[in-house]
Chain A
C-alpha cells in the first residue's frame, strides 16, 4: 500500500554512525554533517537535506474504518498537491507558502494501519528510519493516534493527528510532538448536550453503545457527565469490541433496558452495522438515536436511518454558504474526487495546511522551532472560521457543528443529508488545559 515510497539505503554517513555506535557500544554519537547551527532532532536535518521532505501517512484502508480512512487519505493527498503547487486555498491558510514547504517539495508514503496501533507504529517507524519522514500523520482511531503520539515523542518527529475523538489524545496521552485539529469527546458533548436537552427535555434515560477503546470510553464519559447535569441517567452502557460482527446481544440488552434514548458512540462500519441492527431489533422505534461523534458516510450507508438524528461534527459541506474557504475546498475536492468531502478529508486538509504554515513561520523544519510556532497560539484561518492551538495541550480550539439528518423529501441533492443546526464556538466547549492530565514532555 505504499504509493510513493522512496527507497534509500542507509547513507554513508548513517553507516559511519552505525559503526561508531557499535564500537562505542552505546548511543549513536550525533555527527552533524551539515553546517547548520541547530543540532539534529529526530529526522531533522537528515530528512530535508535534499530537495524534498517526506511525510509518512498511515490510514485504515482495510477493516472497520476503511471507508473513513480512504476519505481522510484524499484530504491529505489534496493538501500535499495544493502545497506543492502553491494553490490559492493553501495561500489563504498559509500565506508564506509558495511552492512546497520552505522550498522543499513534499513526498509521501501511505501505509494501511487497519485501525490497529501496531500496524501504524510499524509503518511509521519504517517511514521514519528509511524515508527520514519529517512529519507523520495517521488516525481514524484514537488508539492509533495515542500510539503515534508516543512514537512521535520518542522519535522526535512531529505528528499531525488525523481523526481522533478521544479526550486522551490531547489529554493524558498528549505529547509535545503531537497536534490535533479536530473536535473530540469533550467538545462534542458540550456542544450537542444543550441541543439534546432542549430538544428532548430533562431527566431522560439513555442507553449507550460504546466501542471498547479510548475513543469510546472518553466520548461516552463526556456525554454522561454533561447530560447528568440535566438529570439524564445511564440505564445501560453496552461496550463492544472494535469490529464486532453482530450486535444482537448488545441490542437485546438495550431493548430491555427501558431507555428513551440510544446514544451510539460506535464509529465507522461498527456504527453503520449497529444502527442497522438497532432498526431490525425494533430499538429505533422505541428510542431516539443520537450520534455524538458523527461518522462520515453513515447517512448514505444506513440508508436513511439518520433522518431526524442529531450529530456533532467537525465539518459539513453546506457550511460553504457561510465560509468562503469551505466553498473553495469543496470545489477543489469535488473536482478531483467527484463527491462532496466529509469531515475526515476536511480535517486532513486543514491540519496539513496548518503544519505548512507553522514550518514557514518557524523558517525551519527543526521540530522544536515548529512546535514553538504552534505554541504561539496565534489565530489561524480554517474552513470554519478562525481557530487557534492551545500551547498547553496542542489542541486546536475550533467550533463544533451540530447537524440533524434531513428527511428524504427535504433533500435538495443526493448528498444533502444534513441540516446545520448550530455552529457552536470552540472557546466555551473546552475543558481546562490540565483537566485531562496533559503533561506534554520535552522539546528534545
Chain B
C-alpha cells in the first residue's frame, strides 16, 4: 500500500493538509485540536516506524518526547535562544542521542523484556525531570512562555502565532515528517525493519546485523518524538511536566493501535479519534470521567478483533471489494506455465574471498555440543570439498540439526573448530558467517510471513549486496545496484516468478518450501546447507525440488540433510551418516545403501525410513 505510484501518498497528504483548515471547522474541530492531532501524528510517525514496521513495542516514548520538548523549551525560555526552529532541531538531536544511549540498554533484550525496560525508562525519566533536573525543567511547573516561530524573510517577517496561523507551521513540519518517514520505510533499511518485525531470527540468518537496525529504528523514533515534544511546547506556549509521564507513552501506543500500526498514518487517525471522542463523550454525551473507559473498551475490542486498527480495517475492506475482481482475472489466465519450468542458469556465487585457497571449503574438527549432561554431538570430524554435493542422513535424534546449527554458527560448539575456506569461523555470529558466504535453509520454514515473495527475496539479497549494516535511509530500494536482477533471478530459479507479489501467507506449502530455499539462495552463498528441503512435500513436488536443487548446485557447494534417501542418493555424491551424535560412516550413496551398520542404525532407530 505504501509502495505503489510515486508521490501519490505525498500528494494526498499535502492536499489533505491544505484542505483541512477549510473543512475541519465545519466538523467541529477547533484549530488547536487539529494542531494537537498533528503533533501526536508526528510523534506517532516515528513510533510507527519502531512499532508498526520494526515490531518493537516501546512504552517509553514519553522519555524522548519530554527530552526533546524540554531541551527546546529550555533553550527558548531560559537560555535566551531566539530561533524556534533551531531549538526544535537541537531538541530533536538531543532526543535522538538519548534514544541511542537508552537503546543500547533496552535493546539488549527483546520482546517482553524490552517492553518492561521501556516502561521503567519512561518512569525514571519522569523522576529525573522532577528532581536532579528540576532546575532546568521547572519540575512540576514545567517551562511556561515558549515562543512561537517567526521567520525573517528579508522583506517581511512571517510570524506563526496560534490557531490556524500556527497550523501552517505545524502542518509543514508534519508534511516533512511524512516525506522523511516514507523515504525511510521505502529504503533498504525500511525493508529490513519489516524483516525484523516478521522474523528476526531469519533476518539475522540471511546476514543482517539486526541489532544495528533495531537501534536505528529506536533512534529514528526518538528523534520524531523529540521534535514533536518541542512542537507541543510551542503549541501551548508552555512545556508541561506531564510530557514525561507514562500516560503519554500509553496514549501514543493506544492511538497507534486504534488508527492502525504499520501504516504511518495510523497514529494520526488514532489521535483524531481519541481527541474527538474525548471531546464528544465529555461534552456532547456528558459522560464526564467515563470517557476514558469508553476509549479503553474501544481499544480492547480493536486489539481483539481488528488487528490492523481503523486503517487496517479499511484496507481489508477495500481489498475485499477490489481484490475479488482481481482474483477472478488471475484465475482466468491460462495455467500452463507451471509445469513448463525452464531452469535458468544458476546465479553466480559470491566472489571467493581468497581465490588462491584450494583446500576443503568446510572443515570441522572435534565438534562437540553438550546440553547439560546430554551430548548432542560428540567429536565430529567433517570435511567438504569445493563444488561437492554432500548428503547427511541419520535417524531422528542423531544430532543432524544441531550439527547444522553449529556449522552456521547459530549455536556455539562446546568444543571443536570449524574452518570455512581456510578461515576459522568458530565463535562467529550467524550474520557474519552468512556474509562470508555460508548459509542454510531451515527444516521448518523461516519466512517473513507478512511480506510478499518478492519482498522476502529482496531482504535476503540486500544482505549480500549491502553488507550486514548500512544506513542508506534515504535510498530508494530500486536504486540498489543489482538488486532487481538478483531477485528476479532467484524468483526464476525457485520457480516463483508468477507468484512474486503474492503474500507468503497465501502460498501453498510446496511454494513456501521453495521460497525457503530461495531465501538462502538470494544471499548468493558459496556453501549452502539445506535442512530437510523435501520435508512434507508431495511426490510430484519432490521431483521438481530435486530438479531445482540440481540446477542450483552448479558452481556451488551444498550439504543436504534429508530423510528421503531415494531423492537424496540421486542428488549427492557422498553421504555422511550420523548416529547418536557421532559420525557412523562416510561414503558414496552406493556404499551407504548396502552398508550393514546403516541398516542396523535405521532399523534400530526409526523403522522403515530407509525404504521411504
Contacts and interface: CB of A to CB of B under 8 A. Distances in A.
The answer to whether any beta carbons of A and B sit under 8 Å apart in the complex is yes
A163 B284 CA distance: 29
Given A2-B282, A26-B158, A118 B165 contact: no
Contacts of A286: none
Contacts of B127: 241
Contact of A147 (B21, B238, B288): B238
A219 to B, nearest CB: 14
Interface stretch (B47-55, B240-248, B436-444, B552-560): B240-248
Nearest to A166: B141
A62 interface: yes
Interface string A42-67: 00000000000000000001100000
A18 interface: yes
A355 B61 CA distance: 43
B241 A118 contact: yes
Interface in B499-532: none
Nearest to B242: A118
Query: Which of A2, A149, A168 has its CB near the most chain B CB atoms (within 10 A)?
Result: A2
Given A129-B31, A214-B140, A27 B159 contact: yes
Given A22-B21, A143-B142, A212 B130 contact: yes
Contacts of A61: 289
B135 to A, nearest CB: 11
Interface in B210-245: 236-238, 240-243
Given A9-B25, A25-B168, A143-B140, A151 B162 contact: no
Interface in A134-181: 142-143, 146-147, 149-151, 154-155, 168, 173
A137 B515 CA distance: 66
B158 A25 contact: yes
A119 B36 CA distance: 13
Contacts of B279: 126
Contact of A10 (B25, B36, B145, B160): B25
Nearest to B156: A26
B32 A125 contact: yes
B33 A151 contact: no
A116 B242 contact: yes
A231 interface: no
B25 A214 contact: no
Chain B interface size range: 35 or more
A5 interface: yes
A235 to B, nearest CB: 21
B139 interface: yes
A153 to B, nearest CB: 8
B25 A14 contact: yes
Contacts of B142: 117-118, 143, 147
Which interface residue of B21, B32, B156, B238 has the most chain A CB atoms within 10 A? B238
Interface string A282-323: 000000000000000000000000000000000000000000
Interface string B277-318: 001001110001100000000000000000000000000000
B26 interface: yes
B165 A28 contact: yes
B144 A155 contact: no
B240 A121 contact: yes
Contact of A22 (B131, B159, B164, B236): B164
B163 interface: yes
B355 interface: no
A58 B162 CA distance: 21
Given A5-B283, A129-B31, A28 B161 contact: yes
B238 A121 contact: yes
A102 B21 CA distance: 34
Contact of A7 (B28, B33, B134, B161): B28
B73 to A, nearest CB: 12
Contacts of A5: 283
Contacts of A142: 141
A117 B243 CA distance: 11
B168 A22 contact: yes
A31 interface: no
Contacts of B357: none
B371 interface: no
Contact of B140 (A19, A26, A119, A242): A242
B289 A1 contact: yes
B30 interface: yes
Most A-side CB within 10 Å, residue of B25, B141, B238, B279: B141
Given A9-B26, A143-B142, A26 B32 contact: no
Nearest to B237: A154
Interface in B145-164: 145, 156, 158-164
A62 B289 contact: yes
Contacts of B168: 21-22, 25
Nearest to A2: B283
A137 to B, nearest CB: 17
B30 A126 contact: yes
25 contacts: A2-B282, A15-B22, A26-B159, A26-B160, A28-B164, A116-B240, A116-B241, A117-B141, A118-B142, A118-B238, A118-B241, A121-B238, A125-B236, A126-B30, A126-B33, A143-B141, A143-B241, A146-B144, A150-B238, A211-B140, A212-B130, A212-B139, A213-B139, A214-B140, A241-B140
Which 9 pairs between the two chains have the least Cβ-Cβ distance?
A213-B140, A118-B240, A150-B144, A10-B25, A118-B242, A2-B283, A5-B283, A18-B164, A26-B158
Interface of B: 21-22, 25-26, 28, 30-33, 36, 127, 130-131, 134, 139-142, 144-145, 156, 158-165, 168, 236-238, 240-243, 279, 282-284, 288-289
